[in-house]
Structure 1
Amino acid sequence: MTQLQPTPTADSLPRRFADFATLGDALDYAASGTRGFNFHDPRGTLVRPYPFAEMRTDALDHARRLIARGVAPGDRIAIVAETSAEFAALFFGAVYAGAWPVPLPLPTSFGGKESYVEQLGVQLRSSDPKFLFYPEELSEMGGEAAQRCDVAGLDWHTFAQDAVTDIALPAANSAEICYLQYSSGSTRFPHGVAVTHGALLSNLAAHAHGMHIAQSDRCISWLPWYHDMGLVGCMLSMVANQVSTDYLKTEDFARRPLAWLDMISRNPGTSCSYSPTFGYDICARRIGSQSKVAERFDLSRWRLAGNGADMIRPDVMQSFVNAFADAGFKASAFLPSYGLAEATLAVTLMPPGEGIVVDLVEEQRLSGAPVDPAKPRRYRSIVNCGKACLGMSLEIRDPDGAVLPDREIGKVWTAGPSIMHSYFRDQEATDACLIDGWLDTGDMGYLVDGYLYIVGRAKDMIIINGKNHWPQDIEWAVEQLPGFKSGDIAAFSITTPAGEEAPAVLVQCRTTDEAERRRLRDEIREKVRSITGMNCVIELVPPRTLPRTSSGKLSRAKARNLYLSGEIQPYQLAA
């Protein structure tokens, strides 16, 4: 049996940094070379090389199949975003047909069939697609969601059996919508971010220029393709910048996270690989105190270890360095970034080689309160997220819209060619965040010499008696207690029976002993009081209770809603 060979890292095709008018043009060019995608099994073994040339052929066939089934330019084509050749071909097939692909999430390990069908239904009703495509193994759930929403549902294997007829494809231009991206937090009122070809290609060019993509670079990724960092950063960017990529499915990473590092170790070239903070945390915890790190891994050629999609925690990054330094990992490889789907993806990138840079900020300043010299000075570490990407501009503004000077905390605004066209069919929401070409990101931060520091989401802020508290501060404080980890705690504001606002903290608790639960509750209460100066509502809840977004991040807003509606049932403890 012939051993499968991955698509090559190097190629004689001259590298172009996404300087194309449309995404279809980008694939046309990449297909003239030998690079491509490579899909691996749970142990990181190659199971399917997929050269860009083959992907283009499949995509063009799908485009003609779609048109033969009545798809017209501007129609939405919803596709369950499994990390697979089938999804990639369908996504680009929709683009070639002039339709707008809409990546939808896979089922998660929590929740059940009904919750997944409803999640699909919410985004189907919002995007109003012509078709919903899904893998065969999801035919039952995908078919039910499609039926409920009066959408034609079809597994992609069946669709691929359609005959291909010689149908002319529509011409596209850079000002047209390329795809719809739903944010990972989309729940009751989802926002489909409409991105044009021009905005996408501008952002993808910024990736290549900002990360100094080289001939020896190869991408390794486990990030889901229904999230902007996985789809735009680790799939579309790889096509537009002609980079061979090795993929591990997200669910396989969750079961065997160290397979990700095994794949990086086997790459003979230089590696570029991204992860949210929790991915690095899982690997550092999983390796534990194993003494043979250097024998199993070689991370010396990991050139860019990107970090984004959630708050970057320097303690986790340091733990990863400590765990894998013997395997050759260099702290300077870390590349923090900041972005959001409304800006296509990247807004800022750290210049390669600068690594994690931390600024210490007094907590009183973060809360917006005047600094009281009589109070003990406590500091929080804020990570530098880099400089504005190519073509992008940044401003920090106060609540009245005035631009603030360096080191003053305010709302982060950005402008440039990567900004979204609109929220799909929601002009009111579009007008609320897009003003005179500037995007209100909804995030709080400050600038220092052109570098951006993010301190939190404005909408997550807990405001008690006029004082601001970041939920991350409360959550991090509880995480320092033995037995808790990132994702176990959700902090938010509630109204008490007395009509007062108070912080509530939900904590996933694994012990079954009643006395131990009471002890933990009291310990947590004291820890939170030391941070906030207030008594908080502390509730212990069963493991795997706190809801997450489709990209795996804690959803505080959903946790609050479930708690207030009674769907989250805390353990009942004696006073």
Structure 2
Amino acid sequence: MRTVMDLLDQHDPRRGLFLYSSLIESPEFLSYRDLRARACVAVASYRAQGLAPGDRVIFPFHTSLDAIASFLAIVSIGALPFSVKTALKPGAGVDLAFLEVIARRYRATYAAGLGADDARALALRLLVRGGAVDGAVDRAPGLRPGNESDLLFVQFSSGSTSFPKGVPVTHGGLMQQLAILTTVDDRREGDVYASWLPLYHDMGLIAGMLTSLYAGNDLHLMPPLEFVRDPMAWLGLLSRVEATHTITPYFGINHCTKQLVLDDAPEIQKWDFRKLRSWFVGSDPTDYDVMMAFQKLLEPRGLRAETLLPCYGMAEAVLMVSGIDRAERPKVHVREDGRKFVSVGRLVPGFEARITREDGTICKDGELGEIELRGATMVGRYFEDSTVDFFNEGGYFQTGDLGYLISGEIYIAGRIGDRIKVNGQTLVSNEFELAVEALAFVRAGKSVVFQIEDRIMLLVEVPPEEAKAGRRRELIEAIVAQLGVKLRLADVLFIRSGQLKKTSSGKLRRRVIAEAYLRNEIRFIETSDFEPKRTDHRKEGANV
């Protein structure tokens, strides 16, 4: 079986990676053949430093050409990288407490991409790339061949409800996923992919970077923080490089939409998205109305509804599980209670799914339950974790996702653990969050909802100047309009920034936030119409 390193030698020498440190500067370019050469230099360097097959490497995956070459070198040697989150902000540092747990749990002995002090603190040997890149380097001797069962790297589950679990990715599973993804998104010779997603996350690493290395199309990469700071510059880049493919979580669509509504810059009139054929929308439950409003705003610039492809995936499946047909417009299902959910399409070949009730029985078409999966590229186990049965007695993996099937198409409602029970209904936290994030003063990903006994709590991160009198009532009214549920004014709180903890994939860690609230650790913003009262919830025995 061919490896990604094998494929790099076969691609058009004019194709390669364009890396943007910012969108106001020209990118750094490296052809795929030169990337292979750089990776071979790293192979020689790492071997000289003692790295051998089977060694385990803590690998904060930065968005850089050197990091990509280092990753390819480590897997080519046969060592095992653990792809972990990096700091988004320069100089912010990595989460040493998290890395210490990972290094100890999985007996890592090396690190790459860390600072010397951090590696020393973790008692890890730091790998350093050395030597000049020689474009004439043709082949490093003894690169690992592509055996289907070989373990290539370990990625991590989202960790939204528990500590992230190691997910082992084999060579066979990866190559099968790359074939699935490039078939679903109709990858062709001469295509152009653009991505801002972090490389430590499966969507950025596999769907963005590795599919491009597999298919040989140009890839334009930028650091995630640049997108967060300036989504309009990102949209401008898609137009300028005539991108044919991209990918984003729903958060990205929402973020862009709010900026488009506010921005009337003349350069928008010059944008052209007519060549954009595939825009995967995944990771988060999607607000259909916001997604289609985004498309309508850019329709005059050539963005077709059929370009937006809601999809479903997870680390435990290597990545993609389902996606809508690229000839279809995004589809919404309106339930009897008026709630809307977006179709994430049919299963890709090889997967099987069923929806189950809490007692394990099978749901009818359209009935909400837990999504269970098996087949295709499901990894079958967590890495060196005997405490968890990956498959249940029926041979299915219980995803923890709440959803339903209609005529073979999957609709995602949210996470099982994020259910909100009110007035005899079962809603999901993200439904409340999507409702309030439609308001102009609430940024995407800056609200969280959880339930404490019979109270539904809404916390919203806003700058102090946005916490104006009357705005909490606006939040309540938005939820009433969308869901027909009225929150108590005392349960709607503005909080200071930096307190909404998230996973490496950007998902809210609602239980962690709720527990911080119960411990009175949340810093509130007082408004002229409200002064939050501290309550010792622990004495009251409240539960999330």
TM-score normalised by length of structure 2:
0.86
1:559 corresponds in structure 2 to 513
Per-residue deviation at 1:158? Answer: 8.7
Contact 1:464–1:502, Cα closer than 8 Å, also in 2:
no
2:109 corresponds in structure 1 to 130
Per-residue deviation at 1:264? Answer: 1.8
Q: Secondary structure at the match of 2:335?
A: strand
From 420, 434, 443, give the equivalent of 1:462.
420
- 2:395 corresponds to 1:441: no
Per-residue deviation at 1:480? Answer: 4.7
- 2:447 corresponds to 1:489: yes
Contact 1:179–1:194, Cα closer than 8 Å, also in 2:
yes
Correspondence list, 1:235-250, <5 A:
235-250=209-224
1:90 corresponds in structure 2 to 70
Per-residue deviation at 1:422? Answer: 2.1
CA distance in 2, matches of 1:151, 1:159: 25
Equivalent residue letter for 1:80: P
From 50, 54, 65, give the equivalent of 1:70.
50
1:67-126 Cα distance to aligned partner (Å, 9 max, x none): 33333323222222111111111111111111122222221349954x733343343334
Q: Give unmatched runs, 5+ long, in structure 1.
A: 1-19, 363-377, 495-499
From 508, 529, 543, give the equivalent of 2:461.
508
Per-residue deviation at 1:454? Answer: 0.8
Structure 1 residues 155 and 548: alpha-carbon distance in aligned structure 2, compared to 1, 3 A threshold: farther
CA distance in 1, matches of 2:532, 2:517: 19
Correspondence list, 1:196-345, <5 A:
196-268=170-242, 271-287=244-260, 288-290=262-264, 292=266, 295-345=269-319
Per-residue deviation at 1:436? Answer: 5.7
Q: How many residues in Structure 1 have an aligned counterpart in Structure 2?
A: 522
Structure 1 residues 201 and 387: alpha-carbon distance in aligned structure 2, compared to 1, 3 A threshold: same
TM-score normalised by length of structure 1:
0.82
- 2:119 corresponds to 1:146: yes
From 182, 187, 194, give the equivalent of 2:156.
182
1:192 corresponds in structure 2 to 166
CA distance in 1, matches of 2:433, 2:290: 14
Equivalent residue letter for 2:460: V
From 370, 387, 398, give the equivalent of 1:411.
370
From 64, 80, 103, give the equivalent of 1:100.
80
Equivalent residue letter for 1:492: F
Contact 1:121–1:145, Cα closer than 8 Å, also in 2:
no
Contact 1:508–1:543, Cα closer than 8 Å, also in 2:
yes
1:369 corresponds in structure 2 to none
Per-residue deviation at 1:525? Answer: 5.1
From 48, 53, 57, give the equivalent of 2:37.
57
| Same amino acid, percent of matched pairs | 30
Structure 1 residues 34 and 567: alpha-carbon distance in aligned structure 2, compared to 1, 3 A threshold: same
Equivalent residue letter for 2:150: E
Equivalent residue letter for 1:274: I
CA distance in 2, matches of 1:39, 1:510: 32
CA distance in 2, matches of 1:398, 1:422: 24
Q: Secondary structure at the match of 1:302?
A: coil
1:186-232 Cα distance to aligned partner (Å, 9 max, x none): 79723111111111111111111112212242101111101110001
Structure 1 residues 111 and 61: alpha-carbon distance in aligned structure 2, compared to 1, 3 A threshold: closer
CA distance in 2, matches of 1:532, 1:263: 41
Structure 1 residues 493 and 145: alpha-carbon distance in aligned structure 2, compared to 1, 3 A threshold: farther
| Farther-moved stretch of structure 1 (554-563 vs 409-418) | 554-563
Q: Give unmatched runs, 5+ long, in structure 2.
A: 534-544
Per-residue deviation at 1:23? Answer: 4.2
1:568 corresponds in structure 2 to 522
Q: Secondary structure at the match of 2:413?
A: strand
Contact 2:160–2:510, Cα closer than 8 Å, also in 1:
no
Contact 2:20–2:222, Cα closer than 8 Å, also in 1:
yes
From 489, 493, 516, give the equivalent of 1:539.
493
2:502 corresponds in structure 1 to 548
- 2:452 corresponds to 1:478: no
1:23-62 Cα distance to aligned partner (Å, 9 max, x none): 44444544x7542222124126543222221222222332
CA distance in 2, matches of 1:482, 1:279: 15
Per-residue deviation at 1:244? Answer: 1.8
| Farther-moved stretch of structure 1 (396-405 vs 257-266) | 396-405
Equivalent residue letter for 2:375: G
CA distance in 2, matches of 1:471, 1:116: 27
Structure 1 residues 460 and 29: alpha-carbon distance in aligned structure 2, compared to 1, 3 A threshold: farther
Contact 2:46–2:127, Cα closer than 8 Å, also in 1:
no
**RMSD between superposed Cα atoms in Å:** 3.1
CA distance in 1, matches of 2:311, 2:532: 46
1:375 corresponds in structure 2 to none
CA distance in 1, matches of 2:144, 2:307: 43
2:383 corresponds in structure 1 to 424
